[in-house]
Every structure is written in structure tokens, then in C-alpha cells.
Amino acid sequence: MPNKILILDDQKDYLRSLSLALSGSFEVVSYVDAPTAKAALSSDIKAILVDICLNEAEADNRDGLLFIEEVRKGNLQVPVLAISGIQDSALPEQAIKAGANKFLKKPINIAELRQLLKELIK
């Protein structure tokens, strides 16, 4: 059985394509909102991908950082990858400070993402 990863991104089309691209290597569960994703966190999740901006209508929204902090406050110790298409040089540092293991800029190279996930899950 492939490792289960959780993806949280408010852009449904992007979420669908990312889920499809990773589904050959992982069991993917995907969510468009933080409360639903948080409710789905369990010990069988082996990695999490979180978009930093979970509401594209608000340009300065950073709800993904809050989600990462909540994951870290819980007992689930899994690799967390923060992702974003926002042009802000402070974001990578903010994501790591919130508890992310890595920060990736959109658009994401799927082959690199797949390899990074496999390395982090080991």
C-alpha cells in the first residue's frame, strides 16, 4: 500500500492536478479548506503539502501557516511541505518558522516533489 499524503490547497483545479500527478506514487487525500483537512489528520498520514494562501480572494491571506502551526502543536509528527505561488521573499522563512520542513514555489516540478516526498517519508 502506498504512503498516504494529505494536500491542502484552495485552488480546486490545481489541487486536482497535483493529486492526479502524485496518485501513482502515493495515496492522496486532498482538501480545499483547513478545518476539513485538520479533521482528517490521522496517524496514517505520512506527509502533508499545504498551500500558504488558502483564500485567493485575500492577497495577504496566510492561513496555511496557521494550519502548519496547528499540525505541529498536535501529536502528528510528519513532514510538512509548504507551497505557494505568492511573490514574497519572506515566505520560505515564515513557513519554516511555522514548522514546515521545506518550502516549494509554484509551479512545482512534480518529479522533484515526488522524490522529495519519498526522501522525507523514509
pLDDT reported for residue 6: 98
Nearest to 4 by CA among 56, 53, 48: 48
Coil, strand or helix at 29: strand
Element at 6 (helix H, strand E)? strand 4-8
For the whole model, what pTM was predicted? Answer: 0.93
pLDDT digit string (tens) for the chain, length 122 residues? 799 999 999 999 999 999 999 999 999 999 999 999 999 999 999 999 999 998 866 766 789 999 999 999 987 889 999 999 888 899 999 999 999 999 999 999 999 999 999 999 98
- Can you give the length of the chain in residues? 122
> How many domains does the chain divide into?
1
| Boundaries of domain holding 23 | 4-121
Residue 54 confidence (pLDDT): 86
Model pLDDT, residue 73: 92
Could you tell me the CATH number of the domain that includes residue 27?
A: 3.40.50.2300
Beta strands in 9-114 (DSSP E): 27-31, 45-51, 80-84, 102-105
